[in-house]
């Protein structure tokens, strides 16, 4: 399992992924699930992946090396380094997923392995709007929007309540967005063994056209430990001061 | 779907269930999933159910009307009103589930309907220890304990982080337990449409040998609305005062 979360904020994007992969509980590895295509000043595209590692690695390969453009099959191959918009980038990832599906899904089905994969895609191209997409295993996708400013893939439930309650497209700063993404991840890591450190954090400032920060956060990271501890204390303090129930 | 949570605390039990059932999104009903067998001063047994309503209603029927004791098949039927301990009560529910499985599972499988049901069982008999169990669809069960003082059935993930962080068998009072169960339910109701009001809350004080309070909480309940709002505000305040990340 995996947990990745992307926040679309007025001032930029916060994207956070864990790095744990597992086939059963006794075959656990660390793989980065975060991929960046960047041409500073021109384009910044970030892809995060969840699901079957064989599928997601094939998809990343295809969108890096390029696949034929269906409208111009003999022209140059489309890659995330040359697509003309984030929307076309999401479509390209979707086409790559469908190509992997065509190639692998039947053999996987014969082994009772579900075709499970999902992706977060965020970024901006020069002169275009900053976007954040979630792409499904069928290759179709949805976009984050001010009303729904976060998207999650993988083990998403444990980390959702804090985002539901506290995140706001217009009011949450990039700094607070980082805190919320880390708290959402912390809730998930505590509850699901298959989500684990290190974490990959990517920050993008709107119109920056380059990654503002990309950080790998290890489990002994002092800042992460500090906010995790302070948050638990704050929650305990907060529920203590709620009014007592009328029924006790 | 359903969400039920039971807390085993030093001073008693807090059990909370929603009442929504649905077959698809257009066949939504309200059913109590909370059942009590009580003989004040002698026994208090509370059962909460999740899963397929046809299964859980059959199980409740069987443990109310009684099923033959396998060690004394011609003797009096065992019911939750006459079992000699909470452990035997959990076994009885398990036997009832297996009886329903024997009767219905094959026909359900032919219709691709999974045999899904789970139960929380809590209470105390005179002179015995207060217990809280979770019973699975296979009829086997586990018990809450000081190290793991809460059990959840149904849609459990959204409401788990707050309990992981704040609940403590020895330190959480019954009053704080009610707050935490309601906050856990609030996180779930916000995230999953198939979990809904009204809620059934049951409080049992250790050695009381009768229900201390049983309350139905409607969605316009002033106390629930108040703590839900205050909690959201407290969370927002709490993450604002966390130290800023070193990377922004």
Q: Say what the pLDDT of residue A226 is.
A: 95
- Distance in Å, alpha carbon of A139 to nearest chain B alpha carbon: 25
Using CB atoms, pick whichever of B215, B232, B241 lies closest to residue A165. Answer: B232
Query: Does B236 sit within 8 Å of A242, measured CB to CB?
Result: no
Q: Say what the pLDDT of residue A21 is.
A: 82
pLDDT in tens, B115-125: 999 999 999 99
Close Cβ partners of A157 (under 8 Å, ≥ 6 residues apart): B157, B158, B191
Query: Does B213 sit within 8 Å of A175, measured CB to CB?
Result: no
Give residue B22's pLDDT band: very low, low, confident or very high (50, 70, 90): confident
CB contacts, 8 Å: A204 with chain B = none
State the average pLDDT for chain A: 94
Q: Is B15 on the interface with A (CB under 8 A)?
A: no
pLDDT in tens, A39-81: 999 999 999 999 999 999 999 999 999 998 888 889 899 999 9
Query: Does B231 sit within 8 Å of A179, measured CB to CB?
Result: no
Residue A25 has pLDDT above 90, yes or no: no
Query: Does the interface ipTM go beyond 0.90?
Result: no
Give residue B66's pLDDT band: very low, low, confident or very high (50, 70, 90): very high
Residue B31 has pLDDT above 80, yes or no: yes
Q: Say what the pLDDT of residue B192 is.
A: 85
Give residue A191's pLDDT band: very low, low, confident or very high (50, 70, 90): confident
Give residue B129's pLDDT band: very low, low, confident or very high (50, 70, 90): very high
**How many CA atoms within 13 Å lie on the side-chain side of A94?**
16
Calpha distance B135→B142 (Å, rounded) = 7
Q: Is B183 on the interface with A (CB under 8 A)?
A: yes
Residue B99 has pLDDT above 80, yes or no: yes
Residue A23 has pLDDT above 90, yes or no: no
Q: H or E element: which one contains A223?
A: helix A222-240
Using CB atoms, pick whichever of A166, A191, A231 lies closest to residue B160. Answer: A191
Task: Give the largest CA-CA distance in chain B.
Answer: 74
Residue B114 has pLDDT above 90, yes or no: yes
pLDDT in tens, B34-52: 999 999 999 999 999 999 9
* Mean pLDDT calculated for residue range A170-199: 93
Q: H or E element: which one contains B236?
A: helix B222-240
- Distance in Å, alpha carbon of A81 to nearest chain B alpha carbon: 27
Phi, psi of B147 (to 5 degrees): -70, -30
Q: Is B29 on the interface with A (CB under 8 A)?
A: no
- Distance in Å, alpha carbon of B221 to nearest chain A alpha carbon: 11
Q: Say what the pLDDT of residue B173 is.
A: 95
Percentage of residues in chain B with pLDDT exceeding 70? Answer: 99
Q: Is B108 exposed, middle or buried (0-12, 13-18, 19+ CB in 10 A)?
A: middle
Close Cβ partners of A205 (under 8 Å, ≥ 6 residues apart): A11, A12, A174, A212
Residue B191 has pLDDT above 90, yes or no: no
Ordered structural domains, chain A, with CATH = 3-240 (3.60.20.10)
Q: Say what the pLDDT of residue B26 is.
A: 74
Task: Give the largest CA-CA distance in chain A.
Answer: 74
CB contacts, 8 Å: B247 with chain A = 178, 201, 203, 213, 215
Give residue B248's pLDDT band: very low, low, confident or very high (50, 70, 90): confident
Calpha distance A44→A36 (Å, rounded) = 7
pLDDT in tens, A104-134: 999 999 999 999 999 999 999 999 999 999 9
* Mean pLDDT calculated for residue range B16-27: 82
């Amino acid at each position: 399992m995996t947990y990745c979360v992307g926040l679309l904020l007025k001032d930029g994007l916060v994207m956070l992924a864990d790095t744990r992969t597992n086939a059963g509980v006794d075959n656990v590895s660390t793989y980065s699930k975060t991929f960046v295509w960047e041409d500073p000043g021109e384009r910044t595209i970030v892809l995060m992946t969840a699901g079957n590692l064989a599928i997601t690695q094939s998809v990343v390969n295809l969108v890096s090396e390029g696949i034929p453009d269906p409208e111009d099959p003999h022209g140059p191959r489309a890659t995330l380094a040359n697509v003309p918009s984030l929307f076309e980038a999401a479509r390209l990832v979707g086409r790559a997923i469908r190509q992997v599906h065509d190639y692998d899904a039947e053999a996987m089905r014969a082994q009772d392995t579900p075709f499970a994969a999902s992706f977060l895609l965020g970024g901006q191209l020069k002169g275009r709007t900053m976007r954040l997409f979630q792409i499904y295993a069928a290759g179709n996708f949805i976009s984050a929007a001010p009303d729904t400013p976060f998207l999650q893939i993988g083990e998403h439930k444990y980390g959702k309540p804090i985002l539901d309650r506290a995140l706001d497209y217009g009011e949450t700063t990039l700094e607070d967005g980082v805190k919320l993404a880390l708290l959402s991840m912390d809730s998930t890591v505590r509850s699901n063994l298959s989500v684990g450190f290190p974490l990959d954090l990517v920050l993008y400032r709107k119109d920056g056209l380059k990654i503002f920060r990309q950080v790998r956060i290890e489990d002994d990271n002092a800042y992460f430990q500090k906010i995790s501890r302070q948050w638990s204390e704050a929650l305990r303090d907060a529920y203590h001061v709620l009014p007592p129930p009328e029924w006790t």
